[in-house]
Amino acid sequence: MTLLQIAFFFLSALALASAILVITRRNAVHSVIWLIVTLFSVGGIFLLLHAEFLFAVQVILYVGGIMVLFLFVVMLVNLDVAVKQAQFSRQWQLALATAIILMAELAYGIYRGHQGFTLAQTSAVPPTIGNTQAVALALYQDYMLPVEIASVLLLVAMVGAVVMAKRKLE
């Protein structure tokens, strides 16, 4: 077993364990913290898959931005009542069945197709441009219009969030 595989299995185990903790913790603050651990582990797997740029985006934007927003909201709203209430809805059998059917279906697909999933061994010579450069070239040449649309989407979301969270609508 190579070092790469050891790192992969360690990060996978960490991601799965903390994902289970996310959906079972009673206190929402604990759930957020465990979700941060999950996102870090998944980011580490991004790094193993040679997606360095997205690893940075994951850490800066997801962990540093979205999760901090979550923490703010969790601490703004009154959770003392919610902690005392029942945590799981009555449909946990349905949830279990849904999750198992979904995973079995996808696992069957992977099992049937995994012979074809060997990694392309094209990188015998190291690529001439780095990952960030490759992503940037694709992003600003082939996907120029989607980038502009995404920026408008973020603007709309920002205005919408301010309007929704305002104390009084006039």
Binders of another protein among residues 76 to 95 (CB under 8 A) are 76-79, 81-82, 85-89, 91-92, 94-95
Residue 96 interacting with another protein (CB under 8 A): yes
Q: Closer to another protein by CB, 28 or 170: give it.
A: 28
Task: Give the pair of three-digit tokens for residue 93.
Answer: 């059998």
Binder of another protein out of 5, 10, 64, 144 (CB under 8 A):
5
Could you give the CA distance from residue 122 to residue 124 in angstroms, rounded to a whole number?
Answer: 6
DSSP state letter for 86:
-
Rounded to the nearest whole angstrom, what is the least distance from the CB of residue 170 to another protein in the complex? 15
DSSP codes, 18-73: HHHHHHH-SSHHHHHHHHHHHHHHHHHHHHHTT-HHHHHHIIIIIIIIIHHHHHHH
Binding mask 147-166 vs another protein (x if CB under 8 A, - otherwise)?
Answer: ---x--xx-xxx-xxxxxx-
Q: Kindly give, in sequence order, each residue whose CB lies less than 8 Å from that of residue 22, ignoring residues fewer than 6 positions away.
A: 31, 34, 35, 38
Rounded to the nearest whole angstrom, what is the least distance from the CB of residue 27 to another protein in the complex? 10
Binders of another protein among residues 105 to 124 (CB under 8 A) are 106-107, 110, 113-114, 117-120, 122-123
Residue 98 interacting with another protein (CB under 8 A): yes
Binder of another protein out of 10, 64, 144, 146 (CB under 8 A):
146
Binders of another protein among residues 25 to 54 (CB under 8 A) are 28, 31-32, 35, 38-39, 42, 45-46, 48-51, 53-54
Residue 131 interacting with another protein (CB under 8 A): yes
The helix (H) or strand (E) run that includes residue 94 is helix 92-113
Give residue for tokens 């040449």: 141
Q: Total binding residues for another protein by CB under 8 A?
A: 89
Q: Kindly give, in sequence order, each residue whose CB lies less than 8 Å from that of residue 83, ignoring residues fewer than 6 positions away.
A: 26, 27
